[in-house]
Copies of this chain bind each other. A is one copy, B any other.
Amino acid sequence: MLYKTPICSLLGIKYPVIQGGMAWIGTCELASAVSEAGGLGIIGSGHARPEWLREQVRRMRELTDNPFAVNLMVVSPFLKDNLRMIIEERVPVVTFGAGNAGGYIPMLKESGIKVMPVVSAVALAIRMERLGVDAVIAEGMESGGHIGDTATFPLIPQIVDAVKVPVIAAGGIADGRGLAAAMALGAQAVQMGTRFVCSTECIAHINYKEQIVQARDRSTSVTGATTGHPVRCLTNRFSREFSALEKSGASMEEMEDLGKGRMHSGVISGDIEQGSLMAGQVAGLIKDIKPVKTIIEDIIEEAGSVIKKISSASCQEVAP
């Protein structure tokens, strides 16, 4: 049994599985594999230049005929150029990461582009819905990378109750149990980042993938809360150094200096001690590196059997 929710029709995808838009490693290699396998692949732009992003979009079109998205960072210095390029290239879907995307939604909607911002709180979800977004990606604080305060379990139903647009659950999800649970909480799809890092197709360094595979439940920690931009990563020498600097009351400039280039050295060059290795608390649940198609099919199959199990085998009907 395979499951299809209304958001699948909206986005034109086969399965309610969306890949998180990750800077550096959410390239067309990973995104096209996700879209080809029936999910929604997302090219993560981070602070990338418009030329690079345009090339990614064009290569994406060569690799798959299926729908895909581009994730934009509101704080990127190239945001406006990237928006123009996305409209020119008729990218079907845009997701927004860090920052308030409010001002950019109308121009994308007018160009017929679907917009799905990441939200970590009810108030922002309501604001985004008023601006006409097609769905919201509600992301719990167990997620990797930039995070909010509220965890997925209490966040999803509160956002589902507050908006009418479809809700995509993100944070803490890596398998079919997570997809089934997210649907029980009222989500129509899931977005996963950490799980897709550990795919054959993702260009992330093998050292980074292996660190996720070896991670346990408490292997991640959050740094940067004092800067207003908390980030969850695998705990390593760099995260401990950053944390110590933060506690010492260092200036924003000192912290930015220490953080410079760390993501590239971690996820691309594979420096597992001095690099920044973004990962969610779900890392402890990920035990293998496998092809994207297998990841997605395993999740869909497991979700089906989980739903079947909780609706019959493990439950007995009892007379009231």
Residues of A within 8 A of B (CB): 1-6, 14, 121-123, 140-142, 149-155, 157-159, 161, 171-175, 177-178, 180-186, 188, 216-218, 280-282, 284-285, 306-308, 310-311, 314-318, 320
Contacts and interface: CB of A to CB of B under 8 A. Distances in A.
A217 B2 contact: no
A313 to B, nearest CB: 10
A318 B153 contact: no
A217 B163 CA distance: 14
The complex is assembled from copies of this chain, and their number is 2
Find the residue from A6, A14, A280, A307 having the highest chain B CB count within 10 A. Answer: A307
B178 A314 contact: no
A3 B319 CA distance: 10
B180 A153 contact: no
Contacts of A282: 153-154
Given A140-B151, A153-B151, A158-B284, A178 B185 contact: yes
Given A153-B142, A154-B285, A307-B310, A4 B315 contact: yes
Contacts of A306: 184
A154 B4 contact: no
